[in-house]
Each structure stands twice: as C-alpha cells, then as structure tokens.
Structure 1
C-alpha cells in the first residue's frame, strides 16, 4: 500500500466511482421527473379531451387556440428534457475521457 502509483490509481478509482454515483442519481432523478410528468400529462390529457368535446360543439376557434397552446407547452417540455439529458451525456463523455487517460 506504500506504492504511490497504486495509491494514485485507488484515489482516481474512488473519485470516478463517486462521480458515477452522482451521475446515476441524476439519471434516476430525471427518470422520476419524467415518470411524474407522464402521469400528470395523462391526467391533463383526460381533462383536455373532455374540454375539447365541449369546445368542439360550442367554439371551434377555441379548440384551435387550445391545441396551439398545448403544442407550444409540449415543445417547451421536450426542450427542457433534451437539455437535461444532453448535460448528463456530456458528463458521462467527460468521465469516459478521463478514465481513458
């Protein structure tokens, strides 16, 4: 255990392990958020469908406005999710590069 190279490798291994655990936790948190958002989206979908049925009968222009709003919101949510996964992918790539060096 007095070998400095072995100690450096062990320290690096520990550091990499800790960082990988953080990345795994981030991924788990994102997966939880995605699942939570899916459940909320399903609930919202049921409500929207009921409203669409009513609006189609009473106000066709209102239906179009609501659909445009939903499409915009969905695009914003997708953009947020894409950004978060891109951040995690960059971290993983950085970790792999460090391990290879």
Structure 2
C-alpha cells in the first residue's frame, strides 16, 4: 500500500472534521526568553497514519496563530493551509490550557 492509497480518503475530509481526527500527543509551553513569538512546541497526530513532531505554535503580531514545522536542510518539512493552521492551533491551545501548573514548569 502506498501513501496515496493510505491518505486517499483522508485527503478529502472537510477541515471541520479534522478536529475529530487530530490529537496533540505532547505539548510544552516555550520557556520565557525562548524563540521570538513562539507560544509552545508540540507533537501532533494529524490522522492515525500521519504524525508530525516538534511543531511550533507562534502568536502573530496581527492576531491569531501560525503553525510551523521544523526545517531540514534549510527547507520546511511541511506546510499547512490557512484552514488547517486554524484547526491545529485550536487543538494546540486547548491542550496547552489543559496542562497543570506543574506540567508547565517541567520544560
């Protein structure tokens, strides 16, 4: 089975249904004095078949949030549509709010 076969049904899922599929696997707030406007770093299971690690949630100066993947050889390893960014950011912020004060200090 190739990637096209695995993702064929998932590729046509409306964005509003992605929230039901995606899961934040791990999240930690960016420490004070961290990387610019970075709010948190997290790992995401986009679907059961696709996991993304070390994503960065950043606050935009004009409001809202951006989600960035890590770089490899100077190039982003993944990019996301504006609608998907909103859904991922919403899930990441919800997971961040669920952290206990103890969890927030561990990183």
Alignment TM-score > 0.5, same fold: no
Q: Relative CO higher for 1 or 2, CA cutoff 8 Å, sep ≥ 6?
A: 1
Q: Please identify which structure carries the higher strand content.
A: 2
What is the TM-score with the length of structure 2 in the denominator? 0.25
Structure with more of its chain in helix, by fraction: 1
* Superposition TM-score, scaled by structure 1 size: 0.26
Higher alpha-carbon Rg:
1
